[in-house]
Amino acid sequence: MVTSLDDIQSMRFWKAVIAEFLGTLLLVLVACGSCIELIDGVKSSIVQIALCFGLSVATIVWNIAHISGGHINPAVTAGMFAARKISLARTVFYILFQLVGAIVGAGILLGLTPDGYHGALGMTTVSPKIDVGKAVGVEFMITFILVFTVFASCDGKRKDIKGSVPLAIGLSVTMCHLFAVSKFIIYNQSYD
């Protein structure tokens, strides 16, 4: 594994960090944008929103995986670090730039959304029907499924993978979204 100092000094490192920033920015902008109701009385269904999240992940991973690995999620980055696939410096910078990218993406979405339609901008909260402990449990499970799918799909030792790795990852996001949003923890005002 490359040392953290060697990593930071390379142009490839900074291109990867910027790719993570842009990927996360686009994910938040597009996926959270799918939750906004711009036509009075016409709301996106849970399926439409889940597909938008999953297809956004697949498309973004497809576009930036060759540059940064296409993590676009701090949990994936932390998993890669835990598995010793990336350096500490790459982990810290990826997570920092993913968080900043998410904030900038939300800011752009806020700026593009007409006044009076902002609502929660796709923000999710725990359903009042579920206690916080169970919500954390469900969030842990769907995060595990995502990271598990990333590792299973990106395992260089596997020779049986013939399909699209980004699509498999995106479909896992869609699956988890449908599972968690429709039944358990995630409550989004756009579903009212």
Q: Residues 31-75: pLDDT tens digits? A: 999 888 777 777 788 899 999 999 999 999 999 999 999 999 999
The one-letter amino acid code at 153 reads S
Architecture of domain 4-191: Up-down Bundle (1.20)
Map out the domains of the chain as residue ranges: 4-191
Which among 4, 182, 172 has a CA at the least distance from the CA of 75? 172
Say how many C-beta atoms besides its own lie within 10 A of residue 165's C-beta: 19
Confidence (pTM):
0.88
The DSSP annotation for 125-171 comes to EE-TTS-HHHHHHHHHHHHHHHHHHHHHHS-TT-----S-HHHHHHH
Q: How sure is the predictor about 192, in pLDDT bands with cuts at 50, 70 and 90?
A: very low
Cα–Cα distance for residue pair 29/32, rounded to 1 Å: 6
**Residue 120 binned pLDDT confidence (cut-offs 50, 70, 90):** low
